[in-house]
């Protein structure tokens, strides 16, 4: 089952091609949809992450810029297996 954590209730549309010369696959996955996908595509999508930066507002501003104190990475999508054959 596909879960789109960034936009629950939305969809993710992308083009995928593993090797040059292969045809390009256009895929559209809807949040909450159960679908059969090759494991390579699932692993590729599970590695899509975004960085959420945290700023320390207590430090004095040097030239008006805020420097990121730290960040964490959050997954954008998640696949939950329903059955493995």
User: Which run of H or of E encompasses 49?
Assistant: strand 49-55
Length in residues, the chain: 85
Residue labelled with tokens 């995928």: 16
What is the average pLDDT across 10-37? 88
Instruction: Give the whole-angstrom CA distance, residue 38 versus residue 4.
Output: 18
Instruction: Give the whole-angstrom CA distance, residue 20 versus residue 80.
Output: 30
The whole-chain average pLDDT of the chain stands at: 79
**44 CB burial (10 A radius; 0-12, 13-18, 19+):** middle
Write out pLDDT tens, residues 38-49: 888 888 888 778
């Amino acid at each position: 089952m596909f879960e789109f954590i960034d936009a629950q209730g939305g969809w993710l549309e992308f083009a995928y091609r593993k090797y040059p010369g292969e045809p390009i696959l256009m895929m559209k996955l809807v949040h909450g949809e159960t679908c059969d996908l090759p494991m390579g595509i699932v692993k590729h999508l599970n590695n899509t992450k975004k960085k959420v930066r945290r700023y320390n507002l207590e430090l004095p501003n040097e030239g008006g810029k805020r420097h990121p104190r730290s960040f964490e990475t959050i997954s954008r999508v998640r696949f939950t297996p329903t059955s493995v054959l």
